[in-house]
Amino acid sequence: MSFVTTSDGTRIFYKDWGAGRPVVLSHGWPLNSDSWEAQQLFLADNGYRVIAHDRRGHGRSTQTWHGNEMDTYADDLASLIDALDLSEVTLVGFSTGGGEITRYIGRHGTARVAQAVLVSAVPPLMVLRDDNPGGVPIEVFDGIRAGSLADRSQLYRDLAAGPFFNGAASEGIQRAFWLQSMAAGHRNAYESIAAFSATDFRDDLAKFDVPTLVIHGDADQIVPFEVGGKASAALVKDSQLIVYPDAPHGITDTHKEQLGNDLLTFLNGYVA
């Protein structure tokens, strides 16, 4: 297995498939890089080098005690990109991973980045606040935290059977969701709930200066379209927004063929 080691000694697992201009895939909560396997295989088969990593505390990466927040996630991503000396990278982030790549651009800029893609992503800001009146009430995230402490195995089963896929996923896909989720560290996954729900990415999105594609289902029950994709597209200058009608949050599984084709079209449209 392949790892890079960050400045605090954390080992970040990654898969590196194919050859060509690099694409880096950042996964959602509480999953890992396996959740990208359909898109990673498809894009690698179509002429790209596709790298997918496990966020710290998830999958095969180190289960650290600290660093379960977006600044550290972004710095870990920078460690991966720097260690592999990647350039002209297309960053693709799903859900929490969309926050990770957005904070990466906010903290590290776009010197190595050619394009960005936000898929069912958590930016600009999920939680309801006075300055984010369309957000999701804090009680929703408190309920996820309570479920995680009480019985996180059942929480993950309920998410997979319910709002993550809106009933559009097979039993096999739901079991894969549970399996990946249980591979995350308990503390890591618990603290990451605050990272994806309460981090404000609006200043980071203002720093996007590369072609950006936003893809979001308008029936997303985890990151509502109005809070996520629609709001992000409005903040990124000249971004392209693709809405999947009646699509749930987990479109990497439920709409993998359509998503793969949309990603490939965007990648092939890049002009250096």
Q: Active-site residue numbers?
A: 95, 220, 249
Q: Are 40 and 52 in contact (CB under 8 A)?
A: yes
Helix and strand totals (H; E) in the chain: 10, 8
Which residues are within 8 A (CB) of 270 and not within 5 positions of it... i.e. 6 or more apart? 21, 88, 90, 114, 115, 211
CA angle 7, 57, 259 (to 5 degrees): 105
Query: Which residues of the chain form beta strands (DSSP E)?
Result: 2-5, 11-17, 21-26, 48-53, 89-94, 113-119, 212-217, 240-244
3 state DSSP class of 131: coil
Q: Cβ distance 97 to 25 under 8 Å?
A: yes
- d(C-alpha 16, C-alpha 226), whole Å: 34
